[in-house]
Structure 1
């Protein structure tokens, strides 16, 4: 506190401080108003603002260009583990086998080390897994009819492109579409890892069942505004009108 260091109308700095910190000698002519409460301030450029950890972080953090696809990944009532995986896909940070094998060129001669464990017909990569692989393509085509994405090509770039054109939409169908994309990508990645690390396999039908159950259970816990479109949408998922709430709006 300032009151602890300013007494009898003068500064009571420890003598050693004046040698260690010469700048404090410039404060001798300053006389604080003892009738005012002390405030801790932070200088951000030319501005003095109340100190907080948030203001310090906002000053020192590295600022990057805002990502335009952020609301496709992170949105209210998303499934966090699915959103995190989609974020990794968008940044192409998943450790697919093509990426791992770049670190060891000698293994590239062995196609078994490169092969997709879902279809055994191509290289394990981001683009292939989501959803150019015959296995994951079959899964995607089986679940996409639950949304308005029936005509979207089974390619990640096409799916993201479709979502981007609707990024400002507040419709329930857009919310469901994002849930479905995340659940499908997450379950495909789970299946790929189960085959790689546990030697466990499931047919496409079982994968589809897991995806649809996951999304349906999530939707059952979400309260939607009542309207005919929402009622029709929930009907596709076998959910009755109880999932809607009238907020008077």
Structure 2
């Protein structure tokens, strides 16, 4: 008979969560956690955004700092060194994709500097459905811009910025519909919001 023991406690069944809680080093929650781990956001978008929050994705500036012999130039605009802060959304290409996406919710001239976007997210809306839609667009923009950057780096394939915006909006609407079909009460107000734009 198998016995699971987590710490000094014998468990009746295996729990990944219990093991994780036992082995991890607990830290106080970060202020941006609620922006990243929102259930209205597509999981792969959340993971990508989380890695960018930690500044762990291999942007050109990081690759160069690891000693890789590369020219540190943004693959999207070709004008500036590539970094997380440049990609989201100081780059002339990515800022157009971001502004077009968030513009469908009526936001004109949203912040474009990384830290200012985070500050803006914390105060932009008290309406839960609207905040969820904003987060869907923010995460989606980060994800598709990173995909576009990687497609250019690995395959030499490019898309115009407006195609990225359309993709972000479609993904947000599709996620909302999927949540609704799974029976989420919250999703109905999110779908209603997306139906009105």
Alignment of 1:155-234 (within 5 A): 155-165=113-123, 169=126, 171-223=128-180, 231=192, 234=195
- Determine the C-alpha separation between the residues in 2 that align with 1:96 and 1:127: 10
Q: Find the aligned partners of 2:158 and 2:7 in 1 and give their Cα distance.
A: 58
- Pair 1:82-2:45 in alignment: yes
- 1:175 deviation in Å? 0.6
Larger radius of gyration: 1
Report the aligned-residue RMSD.
Answer: 2.9
Aligned 8 A contact 1:114 1:124 in 2: yes
- Give the direction of change, closer, same or farther, for the CA distance of 1:50–1:230 in structure 2 (3 Å limit): same
What CA distance in whole angstroms lies between the structure 1 residues aligned with 2:177 and 2:20?
Answer: 38
Larger relative contact order (Cα-Cα within 8 Å, sequence gap ≥ 6): 2
Q: Secondary structure at the match of 1:123?
A: coil
Q: List gaps (5 residues or longer) in structure 1.
A: 2-39, 237-249
When the two structures are aligned, how many residues end up with a matched partner? 188
When normalised by structure 1's length, the TM-score is 0.65
Deviation at 1:208, TM superposition (A): 1.6
Does residue 129 of structure 1 match 2:87? yes
Matched, 1:147 2:105: yes
Q: Specify which structure has the higher proportion of helix.
A: 2
Q: 2:77 matched to which residue of 1? A: 119
Summarize the Cα distance change of 1:41–1:188 in structure 2 as closer, same or farther, 3 Å threshold: closer
**The residue matched to 2:179 in structure 1 has which SS?**
coil
Q: 1:51 aligns with which of 11, 27, 36?
A: 11
Q: 2:49, 2:114 → 1: CA distance?
A: 11
